[in-house]
């Protein structure tokens, strides 16, 4: 599919010519701000009746994201219904056709990542006063006129009810004496009065992962106590909780079961293994009325774990389809009418991925459509299923020219031990011959790294003439159990070998100049950057590490990080390394302990309010490098956390990266 889309783009770009020499373009190079500024529109979402669309738009002199509502009768007149001069609105949901809820993220001010997003409610017309339902953690934004009758910051939005009322479901985070999460309690909250009532009385100990039925009754839960994980359910809302399955929280016998939805006839849809021999997670259905329980595969994706969302019918009783992620996102429709509409849209827009978003999908007069590609940021449209016509709603980033963007593909290569490694590769437009390369290592590490679509970081680097590869090294999730478990206790070892093998593969393919390669990444990616320079000095001329781990033992010992004791006690010793049993290994794979071997030019950047990787990781390494590495550059954003939330810091950081790469990867 992606190769077909790529051919369409190349056909359309045949008249666009860029002269490439090193990293110099004859055509105008887009400004750094074009990649990292806020989009004009994000998160459009349709009301239950389909008559209105709520969206976030960059409005006002402050260019903050505000909540706007558009009426289908006249899309040219968006109404601003809520906004703050010093915060961006985010995470919008319809409660009913007249009521909306949203959060607020002050991403351009100090300590933004630790203020909390709160929860607010407002009427569609914007005439009523905004009500704050959940407090922000400790710092307020300017909220003139906001009604203050709310729950504490230890609450968060859980799910809409879709019953026509003004109520929603929220979760309360129950902490222990060490301020670590013990369990979640669900409450039904009225968005007009702020009054709530508990829904989960008598819940099992350690209840955390809830599934509610179409009426909002909690019916399925995964609970964890110590190293154990247990799945419970109720045959009827008034019944007692019954144990269904038990397993470990981490390790080889972990409970690999993620419940998603319970139908009216007690069929549970979940992410699980379809059978004992399966390597990847599927979407399965399990009839909880029949014993023994037997998972039936609903959707399996060869080579990929199922990851996506369920698209329910009008009464929330069954599935119309599912969204999924393989190399790219897509939709699989069980409903023939929805499939026919999808096919029609794909005919009209053959060069992009096209994803529907709708409420009461089969009865909707208009379907909200998001279209994008590797070169094209999201464009929002409306599709009329009766006429088959498309109406442009808004492009998310109208200033981005797709013709100037780079192509992105997912390739595979065998690691030195034969394990299949996926790797995303972004190549500058019209690149001819080997180019300087940046190996961009994703964080986590136990997450999926990337997907096919427009990405600000890789596109920015490609716009400056750099090939960018992003390997999904062993330990990355989404590619099956074998791939994931192969990365256990392999920090700095086989995980690092995979990244080096990806580098050598790109050179062998003729994409990269072997003498001009830099490695870069954040968080775990920052750790891998440092270990790449240590273990493979012949491959990498330089490194960029932001908010990166510099010593695994510090992850255990720094007590003001946000790593909880359950993870440190049961998870890290299995997946990362035991500080006692694996002491020798952790010594050899510590960039801090091996700092004398770090001699290449290095850019380090840390945030003073980082709770994931506290800035001590950076300051200790900087001190260890001072005696022998004069080519170390240091950036410190005092008010940032784990990554840069403030737009001015994003631009500042990447401008420094650009200068650093130009300095060290010149022809």
Distance in angstroms between the alpha carbons of the first and the last residue of the chain:
36
**Residue-number span of the structural domain to which 511 is assigned:** 401-664
Question: Average pLDDT of 431-437?
Answer: 92
Question: Average pLDDT of 207-220?
Answer: 93
319-373 pLDDT, tens digit per residue, is 899 999 999 999 999 999 999 999 999 999 999 999 999 888 888 899 999 999 9
Q: What is d(CA 204, CA 214) in angstroms, rounded to the nearest whole number?
A: 21
| Model confidence at 378: pLDDT above 90 | yes
Helix H or strand E segment including 93: strand 88-96
Q: What is d(CA 189, CA 607) in angstroms, rounded to the nearest whole number?
A: 36
Helical axes 524-535 vs 494-508, angle rounded to 10°: 70
pLDDT at 560: 67
Residue 611 has, within 13 A of its CA and on its CB side, a CA count of 9
Tell me the backbone φ, ψ of residue 524, rounded to 5 degrees.
-60, -35
Kindly list the distances between the CA atom of residue 107 and the CA atoms of 65, 115, 335, 417, 647, in Å, as whole numbers in the listed order.
11, 10, 41, 44, 8
Query: What is the number of domains present in the chain?
Result: 2
pLDDT at 84: 87
Question: Average pLDDT of 501-512?
Answer: 97
Percentage, residues of the chain above pLDDT 90? 71
* Cβ–Cβ under 8 Å, residues 164 and 97: no
Q: Which of 167, 198, 229 is the last residue of a domain?
A: 198
Residue 258 belongs to a domain: no
User: Which one has a higher pLDDT value, 62 or 162?
Assistant: 162
Question: Average pLDDT of 428-446?
Answer: 93
pLDDT at 64: 85
* Cβ–Cβ under 8 Å, residues 226 and 214: no
Q: Which of 198, 220, 247 is the last residue of a domain?
A: 198
Question: Average pLDDT of 472-476?
Answer: 98
| Model confidence at 173: pLDDT above 60 | yes
Residue 310 belongs to a domain: no
CATH of the domain at 135: 2.40.128
| Model confidence at 21: pLDDT above 70 | no
579-614 pLDDT, tens digit per residue, is 999 999 999 999 999 999 999 999 999 999 988 999
pLDDT at 9: 41
Q: Which of 198, 225, 255 is the last residue of a domain?
A: 198
Q: What is d(CA 563, CA 570) in angstroms, rounded to the nearest whole number?
A: 12
Residue 248 belongs to a domain: no
Q: Please give the DSSP secondary-structure letter assigned to residue 350.
A: T
128-150 pLDDT, tens digit per residue, is 789 999 987 644 445 544 455 68
Residue 582 belongs to a domain: yes
Burial of 355 (0-12, 13-18, 19+ CB in 10 A): middle
Question: Average pLDDT of 472-480?
Answer: 97
pTM: 0.89
Q: What is d(CA 183, CA 176) in angstroms, rounded to the nearest whole number?
A: 9
Residue 47 belongs to a domain: yes
223-282 pLDDT, tens digit per residue, is 988 878 888 999 999 999 999 888 876 666 666 778 999 988 899 999 999 888 999 999
**Mean pLDDT over each residue of the chain, to the nearest integer:** 89
| Model confidence at 126: pLDDT above 90 | no
Residue 179 belongs to a domain: yes
pLDDT at 15: 32
Nearest residue to 405 via CA among 38, 41, 30, 39: 30
pLDDT at 214: 87
pLDDT at 570: 81
CATH of the domain at 501: 3.40.50.1820
Residue 328 belongs to a domain: no
Residue 263 belongs to a domain: no
- With a CB cutoff of 8 Å and minimum separation 6, the contacts of 408 are 374, 375, 424, 425, 426, 452, 453, 455, 458
């Amino acid at each position: 599919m992606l190769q077909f889309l790529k051919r369409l783009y190349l056909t359309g770009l045949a008249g666009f010519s860029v002269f490439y020499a090193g990293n110099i373009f004859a055509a105008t190079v887009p400004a750094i701000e074009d990649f990292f500024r806020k989009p004009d529109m994000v998160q459009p979402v349709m009301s239950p009746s389909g008559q209105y669309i709520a969206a976030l738009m960059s409005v006002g002199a402050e260019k903050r994201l505000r909540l706007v509502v558009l009426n289908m009768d006249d899309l040219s007149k968006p109404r601003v219904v809520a906004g703050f001069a010093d915060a961006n609105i985010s995470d919008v949901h319809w409660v009913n056709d007249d009521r909306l809820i949203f959060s607020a993220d002050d991403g351009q001010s100090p300590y933004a990542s630790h203020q909390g997003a709160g929860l607010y409610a407002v009427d569609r017309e914007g005439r009523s006063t905004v009500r704050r339902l959940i407090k922000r953690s400790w710092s307020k934004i300017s909220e003139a006129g906001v009604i203050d009758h709310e729950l504490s910051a230890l609450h968060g939005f859980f799910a809409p009810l879709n019953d026509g009322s003004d109520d929603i479901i929220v979760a309360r985070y129950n902490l222990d004496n060490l301020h670590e999460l013990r369990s979640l309690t669900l409450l039904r909250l009225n968005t007009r009065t702020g009054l709530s009532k508990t829904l989960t009385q008598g819940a099992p100990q350690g209840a955390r992962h809830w599934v509610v039925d179409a009426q909002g009754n909690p019916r399925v839960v995964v609970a964890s106590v110590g190293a154990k994980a247990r799945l419970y359910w109720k045959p009827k809302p008034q019944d007692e909780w019954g144990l269904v399955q038990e397993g470990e929280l981490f390790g080889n016998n972990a409970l690999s079961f993620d419940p998603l939805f319970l139908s009216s006839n007690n069929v549970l849809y979940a992410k699980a293994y379809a059978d004992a021999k399966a390597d990847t997670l599927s979407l399965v259905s399990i009839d909880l009325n029949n014993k023994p329980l037997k998972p039936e595969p609903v959707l399996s994706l060869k080579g990929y774990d199922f990851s996506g969302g369920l698209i329910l019918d009008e009464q929330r009783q069954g599935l119309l389809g599912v969204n999924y992620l393989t190399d790219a996102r897509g939709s699989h429709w069980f409903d023939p009418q929805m499939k026919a509409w999808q096919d029609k849209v794909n005919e009209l827009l053959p060069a992009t991925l096209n994803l529907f978003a709708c409420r009461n999908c089969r009865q909707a007069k208009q379907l909200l459509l998001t279209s994008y590609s590797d070169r094209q940021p999201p464009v929002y449209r409306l599709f009329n299923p009766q006429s088959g016509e498309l109406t442009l709603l808004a492009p998310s980033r109208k200033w981005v020219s797709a013709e100037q963007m780079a192509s992105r593909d997912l390739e595979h290569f065998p690691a030195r031990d034969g394990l299949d490694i996926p790797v995303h590769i972004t190549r500058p437009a019209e690149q001819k011959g080997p180019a300087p390369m940046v190996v961009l290592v994703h964080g986590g590490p136990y997450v999926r790294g990337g997907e096919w679509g427009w990405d600000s970081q890789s596109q920015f680097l490609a716009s400056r003439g750099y090939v960018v590869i992003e390997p999904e090294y062993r330990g990355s999730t989404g590619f099956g159990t074998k791939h994931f478990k192969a990365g256990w206790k392999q920090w700095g070892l086989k995980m690092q070998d995979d990244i080096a093998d990806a580098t050598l593969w790109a050179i062998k393919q003729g994409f990269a100049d072997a003498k001009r390669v830099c490695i870069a990444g954040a968080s775990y990616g920052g750790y891998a950057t440092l270990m790449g320079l240590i273990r493979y000095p012949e491959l990498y001329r330089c490194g960029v590490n932001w908010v990166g781990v510099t010593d695994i033992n510090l992850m255990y010992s720094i007590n003001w990080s946000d790593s909880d004791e359950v993870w440190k006690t049961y998870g890290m010793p299995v997946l990362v390394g035991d500080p006692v049993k694996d002491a020798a290994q952790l010594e050899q794979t510590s960039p801090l302990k091996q700092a004398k071997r770090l001699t290449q030019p290095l850019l380090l950047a840390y945030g003073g309010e980082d709770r994931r990787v506290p800035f001590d990781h950076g300051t200790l390494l900087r001190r260890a490098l001072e005696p022998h590495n004069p080519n170390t550059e240091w950036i410190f954003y005092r008010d940032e956390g784990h990554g840069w939330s403030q737009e001015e810091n994003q631009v500042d950081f990447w401008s420094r990266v650009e200068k650093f790469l130009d300095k060290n990867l010149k022809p």
